[in-house]
Amino acid sequence: MRIEILGTRGEIDETTPYHSRHSGLLIDDALLVDCGEREFLDRAPKAVLVTHLHPDHAYFVRAGAERPPAGLPIYAPESYKDYGLRVLERPETIAGFDVQPVPSHHSLKVRSQAYVIARGRAKILYTGDMVWINKEFHHFLENLDLVVTEASYFRRGGLVIRDKETGQIYGHTGVPDLVRVFREFSRRIVLVHFGGWFYKDVGRARAALRELGRANGVRIEAGRDGQEIVL
């Protein structure tokens, strides 16, 4: 499995070389996971998975954005307008990959889900933005070769809010909390979707992530635009 990270910037104004494009991951030149930039479709993927319908993960929901091309299979947790998105709720073979959707918590207004993606002996998890994955779904996460998850906030606890009326939580979990969960399922974690904290001093941020990995007995990397990973 060959993975190319296409974008690592969250929905923020800050930008720097190698961290300027919004979320996207291309696997074996065939499966695009999240599509935060229209240009990602120029790579001619066979199918697209979208974790949730926020514009830095699904460019086409941004006001004035171009529609995705007709005929391209796009899978998401929910439909959008008349765009023909396919709602993925059960495991399915997509573009030659075994894909297991994993429900997650992130937003009050849109549904979200992570994806376990497997091909041959390689198996990865891509989360998109998240607060939590319920323990009832943790069995899907066993024996992962790689976790690709978000890094909106480095501080413990991140920014998690509870809605006063419904009690539903939403927002972004902090990187230390994500590591504490995913270290049980994989020895390698690659972070993407960086928030403003990362751009203040990229070198220091990378070093802090490596140290966090050592403290937790896992390898943690700051992903970058254009990075390739071979499993």
pLDDT at 97: 98
CA–CA gap between residue 43 and residue 60 (Å, rounded): 16
Place of tokens 């990075």: 227
pLDDT at 148: 98
pLDDT at 156: 96
pLDDT at 25: 98
Domain ranges of the chain: 2-230
Inter-CA distances, 89 with 84, 100, 112, 226, Å: 16, 8, 11, 30
Neighbours of 3 (CB within 10 A): 23
Neighbours of 38 (CB within 10 A): 14
Low pLDDT (below 70) residues in the chain: none
pLDDT in tens, 139-172: 999 999 999 999 999 999 999 999 999 999 999 9
Nearest partner of 33 among 68, 4, 1, judged by Cα: 4
Selected from 3.60.15.10, 3.30.465.10, 3.40.50.720, 3.40.640.10, the CATH number assigned to the domain covering 2-230 reads 3.60.15.10
pLDDT at 16: 96
* Rg over CA atoms, the chain: 16
Neighbours of 43 (CB within 10 A): 13
